[in-house]
């Protein structure tokens, strides 16, 4: 199998890595620059001002520290939100984890103030004084209660909305990710777009938790998505959530395909970038054809003698579609394993393998097939003649091997896709026991 995990790793790095510029949108209020004077007794040489957008973190500014003083200053429009002052080097900043020497500040109504990093005192900014009191001076077990008290006294203030989103959730040790994320969602005011520019758990943890083991079942994912996306939300927040969910789950893991279809069908498409609507429509239309429950059309390919074979000719109860490439390491490993399973159990489990080599490499296909004596199942190659349709496009073959389990007794319906051979064996054994 040609490895897809590189793509996932790159995606995660892009989502959590440093961004060069703040995200400016018409939906998020901004301040006309900033001036933050910092006092410190620590021997820092440089301080960095980092910003946030959803799960992303970026370097907004950096200044040299001279005689315990530094000033961040800019006249450029800057999104309102929560920013972090840190002495840590940029390459060490990958996510929002407050360290002992880090300090969060709010840029909102107040954008000019003096900050003392040692005693956490602020001049001018009442919002920052209130936030620092709860973040840095309140025991962690009391932060949720204090945040809720602030929310009661000033429900529309940005600081209260941020404190609720960051600290207001009632969490318990060992809480599952679905329940934890529901708690975060319930305390996050999605109608407040400025929270996109703050390190709130709902946004910073979303990508990771969607692909955690607790969210491995399609129904669990869909229920959480509907709970989250049916809440009132600002357009910028809703578009961010839908786009993030789609991009996170769109990693060629077939388990997520029904979730992507549900997301595309149920919610509006304002999150899709202009000019890319057609691409997404084609993708979803292709996925509809290959999710469990869909029916496959007749497939025709050719054997070593150039003779055409059709899936409609198979009289067994099940067909295992096996799209493979003799130049693929995983195919070289797994094809003989599947062949042994076929030789030992095909009659007992009533299945046939419809194996198609999809790389047009005739010589390697013949050599590998001769080496492992693969001629007793339906062994075909795209190098031996034209297929009746483009298998690679139709079945969204990005890597090999690709496996589909087809129920021939139910109009050639897809039962499963991209399962392991152990899972395939378990399916057959389980269904054999039910007879």
Residue 204: name the closest of 20, 12, 56 by CA: 56
> How many angstroms separate the CA atoms of 200 and 169, rounded?
11
Taking 60 as the threshold, does the pLDDT of residue 83 lie above it?
yes
| 434 band by pLDDT with thresholds 50, 70 and 90 | low
pLDDT tens digits, 20-37: 467 777 889 999 999 999
Task: Provide the strand spans (E) within 308-412.
Answer: 308-310, 318-324, 351-357, 378-381, 402-407
Per the structure block, which two tokens stand in for 29?
A: 């209020």
Instruction: Please tell me which residue, 10 or 304, carries the higher pLDDT value.
Output: 304
For the chain, state the CA radius of gyration: 28
- Residues of the chain with pLDDT > 90, as a percent, come to 71
Instruction: Please tell me which residue, 157 or 91, carries the higher pLDDT value.
Output: 157
Output the pLDDT for position 4: 35
Output the pLDDT for position 334: 97
Whole-number average pLDDT of the chain? 89
- Could you tell me how many residues make up the chain? 435
Instruction: Please tell me which residue, 144 or 433, carries the higher pLDDT value.
Output: 144
Taking 70 as the threshold, does the pLDDT of residue 200 lie above it?
yes
| 253 band by pLDDT with thresholds 50, 70 and 90 | confident
Residue 248: name the closest of 287, 203, 279, 278 by CA: 203
Mean pLDDT of 352-362: 95
**Under 8 Å between Cβ of 198 and 162:** yes
> How many angstroms separate the CA atoms of 161 and 168, rounded?
9
Helices (H), 154-234: 158-167, 177-187, 201-204, 206-210, 218-229
Taking 70 as the threshold, does the pLDDT of residue 188 lie above it?
yes
Q: What is the dihedral of CA 154, 155, 160, 166, to 10 degrees?
A: 160
Output the pLDDT for position 362: 94
Output the pLDDT for position 25: 76
Helices (H), 295-357: 329-349
Helix (H/G/I), strand (E/B), else coil: 358: coil
User: What DSSP designation does 211 have?
Assistant: T
| 212 band by pLDDT with thresholds 50, 70 and 90 | confident
Of 124-133, 348-357, 390-399, highest mean pLDDT: 348-357
Output the pLDDT for position 16: 40
**Residue given tokens 């067994």 in the structure block:** 316
Per the structure block, which two tokens stand in for 21?
A: 């510029």
Instruction: Please tell me which residue, 434 or 143, carries the higher pLDDT value.
Output: 143
**Under 8 Å between Cβ of 272 and 283:** no
Taking 70 as the threshold, does the pLDDT of residue 417 lie above it?
yes
CA-to-CA separations, 366 to 182, 299, 340, in angstroms, rounded: 54, 21, 18
Mean pLDDT of 330-341: 97
Question: Which contiguous run of DSSP H or E holds residue 414?
Answer: strand 413-417
> How many angstroms separate the CA atoms of 393 and 413, rounded?
19
| 422 band by pLDDT with thresholds 50, 70 and 90 | very high
Taking 90 as the threshold, does the pLDDT of residue 277 lie above it?
yes
**Beta strand 121-123 pairing with 112-116:** antiparallel
Taking 60 as the threshold, does the pLDDT of residue 19 lie above it?
no
Which range, of 294-308, 330-344, 384-398, averages the lowest pLDDT? 384-398
Query: Residue 38: CB partners within 8 Å, gap ≥ 6?
Result: 47, 65, 69, 70, 71, 72, 85, 114, 115, 116, 117
Mean pLDDT of 287-316: 96
**Residue given tokens 């388990």 in the structure block:** 255
Output the pLDDT for position 174: 85
Fold of 300-434: Glutaredoxin (3.40.30)
| 5 band by pLDDT with thresholds 50, 70 and 90 | very low
> How many angstroms separate the CA atoms of 41 and 39, rounded?
7
**Beta strand 402-407 pairing with 378-381:** unpaired
Taking 50 as the threshold, does the pLDDT of residue 2 lie above it?
no
Output the pLDDT for position 3: 37
Output the pLDDT for position 100: 63
User: What DSSP designation does 138 have?
Assistant: S
| CA–centroid distance for 33 within its chain | 33
Mean pLDDT of 8-25: 48
Mean pLDDT of 316-340: 96
The ranges assigned to domains in the chain are: 5-286, 300-434
**Under 8 Å between Cβ of 306 and 385:** yes
Output the pLDDT for position 124: 63
Backbone angles phi, psi at 113, to 5 degrees: -160, 170
Mean pLDDT of 259-275: 95
Mean pLDDT of 140-159: 94
Per the structure block, which two tokens stand in for 410?
A: 């139910």
Residue 117 CB neighbour total at 10 angstroms: 20
Output the pLDDT for position 398: 86
Mean pLDDT of 169-198: 92
Classify residue 364 as exposed, middle or buried by CB count within 10 Å of its CB (0-12, 13-18, 19+).
Answer: middle
């Amino acid at each position: 199998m040609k490895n897809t995990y590189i793509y996932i790793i790159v995606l995660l790095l892009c989502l959590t890595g440093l961004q060069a510029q703040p995200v400016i949108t018409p939906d998020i209020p901004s301040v006309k620059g900033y001036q933050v004077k910092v006092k410190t007794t620590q021997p820092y040489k440089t301080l960095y001002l980092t910003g946030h957008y959803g799960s992303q973190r970026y370097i907004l500014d950096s200044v040299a520290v001279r005689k315990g003083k530094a000033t961040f200053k800019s006249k450029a429009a800057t999104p309102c939100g929560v920013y972090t002052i840190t002495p840590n080097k940029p390459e060490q900043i990958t996510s929002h984890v407050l360290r002992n020497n880090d300090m969060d500040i709010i840029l909102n109504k107040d954008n000019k103030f003096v900050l003392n990093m040692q005693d956490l005192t602020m001049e001018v900014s009442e919002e920052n004084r209130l936030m620092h009191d709860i973040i840095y001076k309140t025991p962690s077990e009391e932060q949720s209660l204090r945040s809720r008290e602030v929310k009661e006294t000033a429900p529309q203030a940005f600081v209260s909305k941020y404190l609720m989103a960051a600290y207001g959730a009632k969490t318990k040790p060992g809480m599952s990710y679905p329940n934890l994320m529901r708690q975060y969602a319930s305390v996050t005011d999605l109608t407040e777009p400025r929270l996109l520019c703050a390190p709130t758990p709902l946004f910073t943890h979303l990508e990771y938790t969607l692909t955690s083991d607790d969210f491995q079942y399609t129904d669990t994912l869909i229920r959480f998505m509907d709970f989250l996306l049916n809440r009132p939300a600002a357009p910028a927040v809703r578009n961010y959530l839908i786009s993030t969910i789609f991009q996170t789950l769109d990693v060629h893991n077939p388990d997520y395909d029904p979730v992507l279809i549900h997301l595309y069908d149920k919610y509006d498409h304002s999150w899709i970038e202009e000019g890319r609507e057609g691409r997404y429509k084609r993708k979803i239309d292709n996925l509809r054809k290959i999710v469990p429950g869909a029916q496959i059309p007749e497939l025709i390919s050719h054997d070593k003698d150039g003779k055409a074979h059709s899936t409609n000719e198979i009289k067994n109860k099940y067909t295992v579609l096996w799209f493979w490439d003799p130049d693929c390491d995983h195919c070289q490993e797994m094809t003989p394993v599947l062949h042994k399973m076929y030789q030992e159990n095909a009659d007992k489990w009533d299945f046939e393998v419809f194996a198609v080599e999809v790389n047009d490499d005739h010589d390697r296909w013949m050599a590998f097939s001769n080496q492992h004596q693969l001629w007793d199942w339906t062994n075909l190659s795209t190098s031996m003649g034209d297929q009746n349709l483009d298998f690679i496009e139709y079945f969204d073959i990005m890597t090999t091997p690709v496996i589909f389990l087809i129920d021939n007794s139910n109009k050639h319906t897809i039962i499963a896709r991209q399962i392991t051979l152990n899972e395939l064996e378990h399916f057959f054994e389980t269904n054999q026991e039910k007879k």
